[in-house]
Amino acid sequence: MNSQATDSWRQSADRDLILNAGPRFELLVRGEGSHLWDGEGRRYLDFLAGIAVTALGHSHPVFVEAVSRQAGTLAHVSNYFATPPQLELAARLKRLAGAGEDGRVFFGNSGTEANEAAFKLARLHGGAERPRILSLENAFHGRTIGALALTAKASMREPFEPMPGGVEHIPATIEALEAAMDDRVAALFVEPIQGEAGVLELPEGYLKVARELTTKHGALLIVDEIQTGAGRTGDWFGYQHEGILPDAITLAKGIGGGFPIGALVAFGPAAALLQPGSHGSTFGGNPLATAVSNAVLEEIEQAGLVRNARERGVQVREAIEGIGSPLVTGVRGRGLLIGVALAAPVASLVVSAAQRLGLIVNAANASSVRIAPALTIGDAEIAEFTDLFAAALAEVAATALTETNA
């Protein structure tokens, strides 16, 4: 693609797309495995996976076959009817999550929709006697109004206030949770790892204490697994690292491998809260989306990709630490959800330098780079990543640290 053509797509994007995401970085036209190509034929190593979405990488044969087969069979019928892929996926998610026979699944099309359903679940459980819903500082649960009320980011919330009432944001500490919890709390919403905040892990033992306190006070424990689920952290779901069972979890991103789907999985008595007419989704749980999700999750299971995420995550973190960049002050996360803490607020510069070199990563905030590659990566991809990321860090460090010390 020549410069005139490049100018043309940028002009089209500026003219025709709502600017909620800002200017697009590139025009990407093709993907295979952990690589993407732009309109000029340039190759990029994708270590973001569409923000923890393309769990199998790009154009994986299992994904392609599932889309093609189901599209030629049955794509949509509405939720007045059930379909085999929908029933199969509901049973699969219950099994993987340990929800038991009395668990139930609601399907939507995205993570924010799953959290909207969970918000309503909390309200139904709480009623007038339990008006309080707790969420954590630095939390991100989505951008629709209910999910945004749970999200503790003032810059996202303020233009759309007033938010739905009753939500309180507390520090992500055990002490703050103990102080806040009482019998008027309907639910506690938590992410096992706060991805949008820079891949911040909860304190050790937090989820166990949260489970104990919510049980004691009759509140729901709702775990947002949208970014951490589907094997990304080295277990199927983040809460499983602490051996607890929540009352509900929300899912999206990796469970579809690139196809839009979200889900709320409710456990025990919480599974009976949503009744006919209390919630719905025209497209949620359609046979095309659920067939693809079944295929993606089956491949993750059969190919041992949960274990691969656990082992390759250690390898990636060690590789980053081994670079020895003065710009890197720490490496956080679990499995293949990794945050790189920087010594200066230059994450966007690191991301831009990496992209120029042919590497796609993400600035979760001004001083954190987020890394979330496909669960299928191996030695070759990690070696390529290490070289490219080291070069990007070196390019930025030479200027950034000089300016910081001046």
> Is 6 annotated as ligand-binding?
no
Residues 85 and 271: their CA atoms lie apart, in Å, by 20
Is 250 among the annotated ligand-binding positions? no
Instruction: Give the three-state DSSP class for 266.
Output: strand
d(CA 277, CA 229): 28
**In 113-176, where do the E strands start and end?**
132-136, 167-170
Decide: 199 and 339 in contact? Cβ < 8 Å.
yes
Residue 198 is assigned to a ligand binding site: no
The annotation status of 111 as a binding-site residue, yes or no, is yes
Cα separations (Å) of 44 from 59, 258, 358, 388? 15, 18, 4, 10
Give the CA distances from residue 29 to residues 7, 40, 44, 57, in Å, rounded to whole numbers and listed in that order. Answer: 16, 9, 11, 15
Tell me whether residue 281 is annotated as binding. yes
Instruction: Single out the residue of 31, 38, 50, 28 nearest to residue 256, CA to CA.
Output: 50
- CA dist 132 to 100, 137, 177, Å? 28, 16, 13
Report the residue count for the chain.
406
31 assigned to a ligand binding site: no
Residues annotated catalytic, as ranges: 140, 224, 253
Q: Is 205 annotated as a binding residue?
A: no
Q: Does the annotation place 140 within a ligand binding site? A: yes
224 known member of a binding site: yes
**Which residues line the annotated binding site for N(2)-acetyl-L-ornithine?**
143, 281
